[in-house]
Protein backbone atom coordinates (compact mmCIF):
# COMPACT_ATOMS: atom_id res chain seq x y z
CA UNK A 1 0.00 0.00 0.00
CA UNK A 2 1.48 3.36 -1.05
CA UNK A 3 1.68 6.17 1.45
CA UNK A 4 -0.19 9.26 0.22
CA UNK A 5 2.09 12.22 -0.44
CA UNK A 6 1.87 15.14 1.93
CA UNK A 7 -0.13 18.14 0.67
CA UNK A 8 1.68 21.31 -0.36
CA UNK A 9 1.30 23.73 2.53
CA UNK A 10 0.38 27.23 1.34
CA UNK A 11 0.39 30.64 3.03
CA UNK A 12 -1.86 33.20 1.30
CA UNK A 13 -0.93 36.87 1.80
CA UNK A 14 -3.57 39.31 0.53
CA UNK A 15 -5.10 42.43 2.08
CA UNK A 16 -8.35 42.29 0.07
CA UNK A 17 -10.84 39.96 1.83
CA UNK A 18 -12.56 39.13 -1.46
CA UNK A 19 -9.33 38.22 -3.27
CA UNK A 20 -8.03 36.36 -0.23
CA UNK A 21 -11.17 34.25 0.07
CA UNK A 22 -11.14 33.44 -3.65
CA UNK A 23 -7.50 32.32 -3.60
CA UNK A 24 -8.08 30.22 -0.50
CA UNK A 25 -11.15 28.63 -2.13
CA UNK A 26 -9.28 27.86 -5.37
CA UNK A 27 -6.33 26.31 -3.53
CA UNK A 28 -8.33 24.37 -0.93
CA UNK A 29 -10.60 22.86 -3.58
CA UNK A 30 -7.63 21.32 -5.41
CA UNK A 31 -6.17 17.96 -4.46
CA UNK A 32 -2.68 18.06 -3.02
CA UNK A 33 -2.85 21.53 -1.45
CA UNK A 34 -3.55 22.79 2.06
CA UNK A 35 -3.86 26.45 3.06
CA UNK A 36 -2.15 26.58 6.45
CA UNK A 37 -2.57 30.30 7.04
CA UNK A 38 -3.61 33.68 5.66
CA UNK A 39 -2.10 37.12 6.24
CA UNK A 40 -3.48 40.60 5.56
CA UNK A 41 -0.15 42.42 5.29
CA UNK A 42 3.53 41.80 4.84
CA UNK A 43 4.43 42.05 8.50
CA UNK A 44 1.90 39.36 9.40
CA UNK A 45 3.25 37.27 6.51
CA UNK A 46 6.77 37.38 7.96
CA UNK A 47 5.52 36.31 11.40
CA UNK A 48 3.43 33.45 10.00
CA UNK A 49 6.24 32.24 7.76
CA UNK A 50 8.50 31.88 10.79
CA UNK A 51 5.79 30.00 12.70
CA UNK A 52 4.19 27.87 9.98
CA UNK A 53 7.14 27.21 7.63
CA UNK A 54 4.87 26.84 4.56
CA UNK A 55 6.02 25.05 1.40
CA UNK A 56 5.06 28.05 -0.74
CA UNK A 57 3.74 31.59 -0.25
CA UNK A 58 1.27 33.46 -2.47
CA UNK A 59 2.06 37.17 -1.95
CA UNK A 60 0.20 40.31 -3.01
CA UNK A 61 2.28 43.35 -3.99
CA UNK A 62 0.53 46.38 -2.46
CA UNK A 63 -0.46 45.89 1.18
CA UNK A 64 -0.64 48.03 4.32
CA UNK A 65 1.98 48.00 7.11
CA UNK A 66 4.56 46.21 4.95
CA UNK A 67 4.30 45.79 1.16
CA UNK A 68 5.07 42.64 -0.79
CA UNK A 69 8.62 43.64 -1.72
CA UNK A 70 9.57 44.41 1.90
CA UNK A 71 8.02 41.14 3.07
CA UNK A 72 9.87 39.10 0.43
CA UNK A 73 13.12 40.82 1.33
CA UNK A 74 12.73 39.93 5.00
CA UNK A 75 11.49 36.38 4.43
CA UNK A 76 14.31 35.55 2.03
CA UNK A 77 16.85 36.90 4.51
CA UNK A 78 15.43 35.06 7.53
CA UNK A 79 13.44 31.99 6.51
CA UNK A 80 13.65 31.49 2.72
CA UNK A 81 10.59 30.03 1.02
CA UNK A 82 9.34 29.79 -2.58
CA UNK A 83 7.23 32.91 -3.14
CA UNK A 84 4.82 33.68 -5.98
CA UNK A 85 3.96 37.35 -6.44
CA UNK A 86 0.36 37.96 -7.55
CA UNK A 87 -1.20 41.12 -8.91
CA UNK A 88 -4.15 42.25 -10.99
CA UNK A 89 -2.67 45.65 -11.80
CA UNK A 90 -0.44 46.67 -14.69
CA UNK A 91 0.32 50.04 -13.08
CA UNK A 92 3.96 51.09 -13.34
CA UNK A 93 4.39 51.65 -9.61
CA UNK A 94 3.18 48.12 -8.94
CA UNK A 95 5.50 46.72 -11.59
CA UNK A 96 8.43 48.41 -9.88
CA UNK A 97 7.62 46.81 -6.52
CA UNK A 98 6.92 43.44 -8.11
CA UNK A 99 10.20 43.25 -10.02
CA UNK A 100 12.05 44.44 -6.93
CA UNK A 101 10.45 41.50 -5.13
CA UNK A 102 11.68 39.15 -7.86
CA UNK A 103 15.17 40.58 -7.45
CA UNK A 104 14.88 39.98 -3.68
CA UNK A 105 14.08 36.31 -4.24
CA UNK A 106 10.44 35.82 -5.28
CA UNK A 107 10.18 33.32 -8.12
CA UNK A 108 7.54 34.58 -10.53
CA UNK A 109 4.70 37.06 -11.15
CA UNK A 110 1.23 35.67 -11.81
CA UNK A 111 -2.13 37.33 -12.33
CA UNK A 112 -4.51 36.93 -9.43
CA UNK A 113 -7.33 34.45 -10.02
CA UNK A 114 -10.65 36.15 -10.76
CA UNK A 115 -14.22 34.92 -10.42
CA UNK A 116 -14.69 35.28 -14.17
CA UNK A 117 -11.67 33.12 -15.03
CA UNK A 118 -12.26 29.79 -16.79
CA UNK A 119 -11.41 26.56 -15.00
CA UNK A 120 -8.34 26.14 -17.24
CA UNK A 121 -6.80 29.30 -15.79
CA UNK A 122 -7.28 28.06 -12.24
CA UNK A 123 -5.68 24.75 -13.21
CA UNK A 124 -2.72 26.55 -14.77
CA UNK A 125 -2.28 28.69 -11.64
CA UNK A 126 -2.28 25.57 -9.46
CA UNK A 127 0.17 23.79 -11.74
CA UNK A 128 2.58 26.71 -11.38
CA UNK A 129 2.23 26.51 -7.60
CA UNK A 130 2.92 22.78 -7.61
CA UNK A 131 6.06 23.17 -9.72
CA UNK A 132 7.46 26.15 -7.85
CA UNK A 133 6.84 24.64 -4.42
CA UNK A 134 9.64 22.19 -5.24
CA UNK A 135 12.21 24.93 -5.89
CA UNK A 136 15.00 24.92 -3.33
CA UNK A 137 15.45 28.61 -2.55
CA UNK A 138 18.46 30.10 -0.79
CA UNK A 139 19.31 33.29 1.03
CA UNK A 140 21.90 34.28 -1.54
CA UNK A 141 21.87 33.67 -5.26
CA UNK A 142 25.55 34.06 -6.11
CA UNK A 143 28.88 32.85 -4.81
CA UNK A 144 31.47 35.40 -3.72
CA UNK A 145 33.73 36.72 -6.44
CA UNK A 146 36.69 34.47 -6.92
CA UNK A 147 34.83 31.27 -6.02
CA UNK A 148 35.95 28.18 -7.85
CA UNK A 149 33.92 27.19 -10.86
CA UNK A 150 34.19 24.71 -13.67
CA UNK A 151 34.39 25.68 -17.30
CA UNK A 152 33.55 23.53 -20.26
CA UNK A 153 36.52 22.78 -22.55
CA UNK A 154 36.63 24.73 -25.79
CA UNK A 155 36.70 22.56 -28.90
CA UNK A 156 40.04 22.98 -30.68
CA UNK A 157 38.41 23.47 -34.07
CA UNK A 158 36.37 26.40 -32.76
CA UNK A 159 39.39 27.92 -31.00
CA UNK A 160 41.46 27.68 -34.18
CA UNK A 161 38.68 29.16 -36.29
CA UNK A 162 38.29 32.09 -33.90
CA UNK A 163 42.03 32.71 -33.74
CA UNK A 164 42.13 32.83 -37.54
CA UNK A 165 39.18 35.21 -37.83
CA UNK A 166 39.79 37.51 -34.84
CA UNK A 167 36.41 39.06 -35.57
CA UNK A 168 34.83 41.52 -33.16
CA UNK A 169 31.72 40.48 -31.26
CA UNK A 170 28.63 41.95 -32.94
CA UNK A 171 25.77 40.77 -30.70
CA UNK A 172 25.03 39.29 -27.27
CA UNK A 173 21.95 37.07 -26.84
CA UNK A 174 20.63 36.17 -23.37
CA UNK A 175 17.95 33.73 -22.20
CA UNK A 176 16.35 33.62 -18.75
CA UNK A 177 13.23 32.34 -17.03
CA UNK A 178 12.42 31.77 -13.34
CA UNK A 179 14.67 34.05 -11.31
CA UNK A 180 15.67 35.84 -14.49
CA UNK A 181 14.73 39.47 -13.80
CA UNK A 182 17.09 39.67 -10.83
CA UNK A 183 19.80 37.78 -12.71
CA UNK A 184 19.47 40.07 -15.72
CA UNK A 185 19.72 43.12 -13.48
CA UNK A 186 22.91 41.72 -11.93
CA UNK A 187 24.51 41.25 -15.35
CA UNK A 188 23.32 44.45 -17.03
CA UNK A 189 24.19 46.82 -14.18
CA UNK A 190 27.87 45.88 -14.56
CA UNK A 191 28.02 46.81 -18.24
CA UNK A 192 29.36 50.32 -19.03
CA UNK A 193 27.33 53.02 -20.76
CA UNK A 194 29.60 52.73 -23.80
CA UNK A 195 29.12 48.96 -24.10
CA UNK A 196 30.00 48.38 -27.76
CA UNK A 197 27.56 45.57 -28.58
CA UNK A 198 23.74 45.25 -28.86
CA UNK A 199 22.05 42.90 -26.38
CA UNK A 200 19.00 40.76 -27.21
CA UNK A 201 17.02 39.15 -24.36
CA UNK A 202 14.32 36.52 -24.12
CA UNK A 203 12.90 36.45 -20.60
CA UNK A 204 9.87 34.28 -19.84
CA UNK A 205 7.42 36.53 -18.03
CA UNK A 206 3.67 36.50 -17.43
CA UNK A 207 1.72 38.09 -20.28
CA UNK A 208 1.27 41.83 -19.73
CA UNK A 209 4.49 42.33 -17.76
CA UNK A 210 6.97 42.70 -20.62
CA UNK A 211 6.87 46.49 -20.67
CA UNK A 212 7.18 46.59 -16.89
CA UNK A 213 10.28 44.40 -17.10
CA UNK A 214 11.86 46.70 -19.69
CA UNK A 215 11.09 49.80 -17.60
CA UNK A 216 12.43 48.19 -14.42
CA UNK A 217 15.64 46.92 -16.04
CA UNK A 218 16.16 50.34 -17.59
CA UNK A 219 16.52 51.74 -14.07
CA UNK A 220 19.10 49.08 -13.17
CA UNK A 221 21.59 49.70 -15.96
CA UNK A 222 23.34 52.51 -17.84
CA UNK A 223 22.26 50.95 -21.13
CA UNK A 224 19.09 51.82 -23.04
CA UNK A 225 16.46 49.11 -22.47
CA UNK A 226 13.20 48.70 -24.38
CA UNK A 227 10.87 46.12 -25.91
CA UNK A 228 11.91 45.07 -29.41
CA UNK A 229 9.91 46.16 -32.46
CA UNK A 230 9.66 44.38 -35.80
CA UNK A 231 12.35 45.71 -38.13
CA UNK A 232 14.57 47.20 -35.40
CA UNK A 233 18.21 47.71 -36.28
CA UNK A 234 20.66 46.49 -33.67
CA UNK A 235 22.45 49.38 -31.96
CA UNK A 236 25.55 49.21 -29.75
CA UNK A 237 24.69 49.61 -26.09
CA UNK A 238 20.95 49.03 -26.60
CA UNK A 239 19.09 46.19 -24.90
CA UNK A 240 16.08 44.79 -26.77
CA UNK A 241 13.67 42.47 -24.95
CA UNK A 242 11.28 40.12 -26.75
CA UNK A 243 7.73 41.48 -26.27
CA UNK A 244 4.79 39.53 -24.87
CA UNK A 245 3.61 36.62 -27.01
CA UNK A 246 6.14 37.13 -29.85
CA UNK A 247 9.19 35.12 -30.75
CA UNK A 248 12.16 37.40 -31.50
CA UNK A 249 14.77 36.47 -34.09
CA UNK A 250 17.42 38.22 -36.18
CA UNK A 251 16.91 37.93 -39.95
CA UNK A 252 19.50 37.73 -42.72
CA UNK A 253 19.68 41.52 -42.92
CA UNK A 254 20.61 41.76 -39.26
CA UNK A 255 17.21 43.23 -38.32
CA UNK A 256 14.88 42.13 -35.53
CA UNK A 257 11.92 40.10 -36.72
CA UNK A 258 8.95 39.29 -34.49
CA UNK A 259 6.63 36.42 -35.29
CA UNK A 260 4.01 34.13 -33.79
CA UNK A 261 5.25 30.73 -34.86
CA UNK A 262 4.35 27.71 -32.72
CA UNK A 263 5.25 28.20 -29.04
CA UNK A 264 8.15 26.09 -27.79
CA UNK A 265 6.77 23.91 -24.97
CA UNK A 266 4.07 26.51 -24.41
CA UNK A 267 6.54 29.42 -24.42
CA UNK A 268 6.32 32.46 -26.67
CA UNK A 269 8.78 34.14 -26.74
CA UNK A 270 11.21 31.22 -26.65
CA UNK A 271 14.97 31.55 -26.46
CA UNK A 272 15.66 28.71 -28.90
CA UNK A 273 14.24 30.79 -31.77
CA UNK A 274 16.53 33.70 -30.90
CA UNK A 275 19.66 31.61 -30.36
CA UNK A 276 19.13 29.60 -33.56
CA UNK A 277 18.81 32.79 -35.62
CA UNK A 278 21.87 34.37 -34.00
CA UNK A 279 23.85 31.22 -34.76
CA UNK A 280 22.86 31.44 -38.44
CA UNK A 281 23.39 35.17 -38.90
CA UNK A 282 26.33 35.98 -36.60
CA UNK A 283 28.17 32.70 -36.05
CA UNK A 284 31.50 33.29 -34.29
CA UNK A 285 30.82 37.01 -33.83
CA UNK A 286 28.17 36.39 -31.15
CA UNK A 287 28.04 35.59 -27.44
CA UNK A 288 25.22 33.50 -25.99
CA UNK A 289 24.33 33.47 -22.29
CA UNK A 290 21.81 31.21 -20.56
CA UNK A 291 20.66 32.16 -17.07
CA UNK A 292 18.48 30.68 -14.33
CA UNK A 293 15.17 29.11 -15.33
CA UNK A 294 12.93 26.04 -15.34
CA UNK A 295 12.76 23.69 -18.30
CA UNK A 296 15.15 23.46 -21.23
CA UNK A 297 14.37 26.43 -23.47
CA UNK A 298 17.53 27.92 -24.91
CA UNK A 299 19.72 24.85 -24.39
CA UNK A 300 19.58 23.49 -27.95
CA UNK A 301 19.81 27.02 -29.32
CA UNK A 302 22.93 27.69 -27.26
CA UNK A 303 24.34 24.44 -28.61
CA UNK A 304 23.69 25.70 -32.17
CA UNK A 305 25.49 28.94 -31.32
CA UNK A 306 28.52 27.09 -29.97
CA UNK A 307 28.65 24.86 -33.04
CA UNK A 308 28.58 28.00 -35.19
CA UNK A 309 31.65 29.30 -33.33
CA UNK A 310 29.95 31.66 -30.87
CA UNK A 311 31.25 32.06 -27.33
CA UNK A 312 28.72 30.62 -24.85
CA UNK A 313 28.25 31.05 -21.09
CA UNK A 314 25.92 29.30 -18.62
CA UNK A 315 25.09 30.36 -15.09
CA UNK A 316 26.34 27.90 -12.45
CA UNK A 317 24.17 25.77 -10.18
CA UNK A 318 24.96 27.56 -6.92
CA UNK A 319 23.89 31.01 -8.12
CA UNK A 320 20.74 29.90 -10.00
CA UNK A 321 17.29 30.28 -8.52
CA UNK A 322 16.36 27.26 -10.69
CA UNK A 323 19.15 25.23 -12.27
CA UNK A 324 17.07 23.97 -15.18
CA UNK A 325 17.89 25.71 -18.46
CA UNK A 326 21.61 26.11 -17.69
CA UNK A 327 21.83 22.48 -16.51
CA UNK A 328 20.46 21.16 -19.80
CA UNK A 329 22.78 23.44 -21.77
CA UNK A 330 25.78 22.17 -19.80
CA UNK A 331 24.68 18.55 -20.35
CA UNK A 332 24.57 19.24 -24.10
CA UNK A 333 28.12 20.67 -23.93
CA UNK A 334 26.63 23.93 -25.21
CA UNK A 335 28.44 26.14 -22.70
CA UNK A 336 32.14 26.95 -23.01
CA UNK A 337 32.09 28.70 -19.64
CA UNK A 338 30.08 27.98 -16.49
CA UNK A 339 30.16 31.06 -14.30
CA UNK A 340 28.62 32.33 -11.03
CA UNK A 341 26.06 35.05 -11.69
CA UNK A 342 28.26 37.81 -10.29
CA UNK A 343 31.09 36.84 -12.66
CA UNK A 344 29.13 36.71 -15.92
CA UNK A 345 29.35 40.43 -16.76
CA UNK A 346 33.12 40.48 -16.23
CA UNK A 347 33.51 37.28 -18.28
CA UNK A 348 31.53 38.90 -21.08
CA UNK A 349 33.56 42.12 -20.97
CA UNK A 350 36.82 40.17 -20.91
CA UNK A 351 35.81 38.17 -23.96
CA UNK A 352 34.73 41.23 -25.94
CA UNK A 353 37.93 43.06 -25.06
CA UNK A 354 40.00 40.03 -26.09
CA UNK A 355 38.31 39.91 -29.47
Active site residues: 177, 204, 297
What single-letter DSSP state applies at residue 31? T
- Residue of 297, 313, 293 lying closest to 305 (CA atoms): 313
CA dist 105 and 38 (Å) reads: 20
User: Distance of CA 302 to CAs 156, 246, 306, Å?
Assistant: 18, 19, 6
What burial class does residue 231 get, using C-beta atoms within 10 Å of its C-beta: 0-12 exposed, 13-18 middle, 19+ buried? Answer: exposed
Q: What are phi and psi of 135, to 5 degrees?
A: -70, 130
Where are the extended beta strands (E) located within 48-137? 56-60, 83-87, 108-111
Q: What is the Cα–Cα distance from 193 to 222, expressed in whole angstroms?
A: 5
CA 131 to each of CA 82, 103, 145, 260: distance values in angstroms, whole numbers, following the listed order: 10, 20, 31, 27
What's the CA gap between 338 and 258, in Å, rounded? Answer: 30
Beta pairing partners, 338: 314
Residue 178 phi/psi, 5-degree rounding, is -60, 125
Rounded to 5 degrees, what are φ and ψ at 11? -110, 125
Amino acid sequence: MTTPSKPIRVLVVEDSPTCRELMVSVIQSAAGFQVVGTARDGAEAVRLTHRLRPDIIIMDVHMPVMNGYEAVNQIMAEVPRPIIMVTNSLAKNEHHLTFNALEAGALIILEKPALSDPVEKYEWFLSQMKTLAEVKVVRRWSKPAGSNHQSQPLAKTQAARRAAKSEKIRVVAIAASTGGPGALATVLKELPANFPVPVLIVQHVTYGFGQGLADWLGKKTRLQVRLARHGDELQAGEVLIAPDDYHMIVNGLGLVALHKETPYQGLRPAANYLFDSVARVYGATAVGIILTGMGNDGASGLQAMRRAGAHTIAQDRESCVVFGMPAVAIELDAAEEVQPLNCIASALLDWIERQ
